Amino acid sequence: MSEISPRKVRGALVSGYQFAITLGILIASCVDYATQDNPGRSAYRIPIGIQFAWGVILAVGLFFLPDSPRFFVKRGAVEKARLALCRLRGQPADSEYIEAELAEIIANEEYERSLIPATGWIGSWANCFTGSLFKSGSNVRRTILGTSMQMMQQWTGVNFIFYYSTPFLQSTGAIGNVFLISLIFTLVNVCSTPISFYTMEKFGRRPLLLWGALGMLLCQFLVAIIGVTVGFNKSHIIPNPVAGGDPLTRANNTSAVNAQIAFIAIFIFFFASTWGPGAWVVIGEIFPLPIRSRGVALSTASNWLWNTIIGVITPYMVGANYGNLKSSVFFVWGGLCTAAFVYAYFLIPETKGLTLEQVDRMFEETTPRTSSKWRPHTTYATDAGTNGKMGAEMVADVERKGSIY
């Protein structure tokens, strides 16, 4: 998505990816809510069966996905890159705009290829880990940035809410309809994400992630403090009105529990409008063309790895027969959100308004903390002496060096 989007709306378009995820979660929650009381196996078979329809839609939609001009340049297919760019920008093939953008893409590819020579399949993955750890523009630093950013996104604890809010809230005994509360959390997630369409381009990636982390850590700590003093953790046992039923747990202070639920909803607002889409936007912008597909793949793998780890360990953290942390688990998420704030301050660069080629230049010339002040002063095409024009010799050289890796 980042490779085909115009730079001025790239952040908004990539944020649409996260919005689609939130819509999927909402639809799934609605289906679960509607089938929760179904008798027999249909309560889980219907939600699983409906997923196949979306899989078919995705598979068919892939055939209509536009090709990336940068992908074609990497493969040495310059004319296909030109046609793809014309389709994406709505410009004729002889447009000066198309010529200038394509020349910059090609010049950047030539420059990156001189630093990262084309190798075999294994070497193309190894290139993600080349360079110095102490140089902000090195491949290994960018790979660490991408993978650690997705890790931080998962560390915020948002999936604890979406995965385990139903049994967690049920254990307090203060909520009459826990499925409905879970559905409200999901609705907040959906409604908050489109805010990033505007703020991502208006304020930039770095400020959004900083303020988002600050808002999340405050909400998490407030939920934890209220919970251990007067909220979730303070409860009593009452007899079950159903004969032979297990005793029931009831919260001592229902108002405090409601306040915790409110702050959890505010936490979701901060996540959905900042770190939710922001992490995907940044990882799509920070990698140089020769390793971009693999860098994004590693970053996405990191997201699902930590998603799985958190999904596995959380029941042991809050289970009554294990950690039984109750509201204290929010101290853990609050601490990790604090780590995300520090991480954003020191490591996340500002990429708003820059082409992907200018982002490469910015990494070479500045640091994350000063990146918002960086302005492009030259282009790869100018440095290559093309002045935005591509000669036949340059095109032939790119086609000759095209790599399938």
What pLDDT, on a 0 to 100 scale, did the predictor assign at position 388?
Answer: 58
pTM beyond 0.95, yes or no: no
Backbone angles phi, psi at 353, to 5 degrees: 75, 5
Q: What type of residue sits at position 153? A: Q
Half-sphere exposure of 125 (CA within 13 A, CB side): 4
What pLDDT, on a 0 to 100 scale, did the predictor assign at position 339?
Answer: 97
H helix and E strand count, the chain: 18, 2
What pLDDT, on a 0 to 100 scale, did the predictor assign at position 19?
Answer: 95
Backbone angles phi, psi at 7, to 5 degrees: -60, -30
What pLDDT, on a 0 to 100 scale, did the predictor assign at position 167?
Answer: 81
What pLDDT, on a 0 to 100 scale, did the predictor assign at position 329?
Answer: 93
Half-sphere exposure of 34 (CA within 13 A, CB side): 10
Q: 125 with 139: CB under 8 angstroms? A: no
SS3 track for 225-284: HHHHHCCCCCEEEECCCCCCCCCEEEECCHHHHHHHHHHHHHHHHHHHHHHHHHHHHHHC
What pLDDT, on a 0 to 100 scale, did the predictor assign at position 348?
Answer: 95
What pLDDT, on a 0 to 100 scale, did the predictor assign at position 122?
Answer: 87
What pLDDT, on a 0 to 100 scale, did the predictor assign at position 393?
Answer: 63
What pLDDT, on a 0 to 100 scale, did the predictor assign at position 77?
Answer: 87
What pLDDT, on a 0 to 100 scale, did the predictor assign at position 238?
Answer: 80
Q: What is the mean pLDDT of the chain?
A: 88
What pLDDT, on a 0 to 100 scale, did the predictor assign at position 386?
Answer: 64
What pLDDT, on a 0 to 100 scale, did the predictor assign at position 10?
Answer: 93
- Give the CA radius of gyration of the chain: 25
Q: Which one, of 371, 370, 368, lies nearest residue 354 by Cα?
A: 371
> Which domains can be identified in the chain, with CATH numbers?
10-65+135-347 (1.20.1250.20), 69-115+379-401 (no CATH)
Stretches in the chain below the pLDDT threshold 50? none
